[in-house]
Amino acid sequence: MAKLIQGKPIAQTIRQEVASETANLKKNGIQPHLTVVLVGENPASQVYVRMKSKACNEAGIESETLILDSGITEEKLLNIIHELNQNPKVHGILVQLPLPDAIHEDRILEAILPSKDVDGFHPVNVGKLMTGMTDGFVPATPSGILELLMRSGYPPQGKHVVVVGRSNIVGKPAGMLLLRKGREGDATVTFCHSRTPDLASVTKRADILIAAIGRPRMITQDMVKPGVVVIDVGVNRVEDPSTEKGYRLEGDVDFDTVSQIAEAITPVPGGVGPMTIACLLQNTIKACKQLNRKES
């Protein structure tokens, strides 16, 4: 049976590290600040924003949530982003996705200053990740994947990592992060996706498999080799009348069978999920430090 890579205790350790850094910054008169912009009343987004705000408060980071009407125009939203860019007290800006259909997400994300883009979605930060520069921001979920591997004793250096999924939020940046030079990188990375012919022939070669394709139980036991380390990013709602909520959460990996032959595997929920907010806090502290260095 595989070792469980539990995200909650690792995330808690990171939060404690962030709280310690925040306390040191406060001693020097610096108050880290994150502003979250929420447009509309998407229930899932509201939950995520509340969780982020709570995590900030626990770590000593000042947080503000701007709740905007779903009918706001793109130009008004851009003006708000511009004001936040110019506000020296704001170190991190996060626009909660998805946005209403009438607003172009790319235009909004590109309007955020790269130095305050703690989500890591601005093209400048994407470019820095691609070229191996370390002063940019990496999206929180890929950062969380790397933290899980490193802190669980599975550094990617010299390993063959197969990433199943090519999204700009998880798949692509996760692969690029693991390609960087050094012990936290130096992996050989293969990208796969829903249209990869004979997917199993590729996933079977993985020493580390990252599943981020958004299909419940897509990765089955016959698609992996014994001893693989599996990071399951998927969070899929599957109807289940036997549960109180009427559904259950499942990953992209068939946990019951794959865990029988893997060396280590993340559970769903409780694996990658808790890491995302913890790494967002890390990015906020990094932004605060870098912005204050520029000003001093």
Question: 35, 63 in Cβ contact below 8 A?
Answer: yes
The question of whether 198 is a catalytic residue gets the answer no
Q: Which amino acid is at 188?
A: T
The backbone region for 125, taken as left when phi is positive above 0, alpha when psi lies in -120 to 50, beta otherwise, is alpha
Q: Is 52 a catalytic residue?
A: yes
Neighbours of 96 (CB within 10 A): 21
For the beta carbon of residue 225, count every other beta carbon within 10 angstroms: 13
**Separation between Cα atoms, residue 176 and residue 208, nearest integer Å:** 15
For tokens 């905007």, the residue is 68
Could you say which of 54, 101, 106, 119 is catalytic? 119
Cα separations in angstroms, 18 against 25, 113, 120, 144, 193: 10, 23, 18, 14, 35
For residues 119 and 79, give the distance between their C-alpha atoms in angstroms, rounded to a whole number: 19
| End-to-end CA separation in angstroms for the chain | 53
* Residues 142-151 as b or e (16 or more Cβ within 10 Å = b): bbbbbbbbeb
For 54-94, give the DSSP string.
Answer: HHHHHHT-EEEEEEE-TT--HHHHHHHHHHHHH-TT--EEE
Catalytic residue (choose from 3, 8, 27, 96): 96
Q: What is d(CA 45, CA 35) in angstroms, rounded to the nearest whole number?
A: 15
SS3 266: coil
160-164 and 188-192 strand pairing: parallel
Residue 96 bears catalytic tag: yes
Residues known to be catalytic: 52, 96, 119
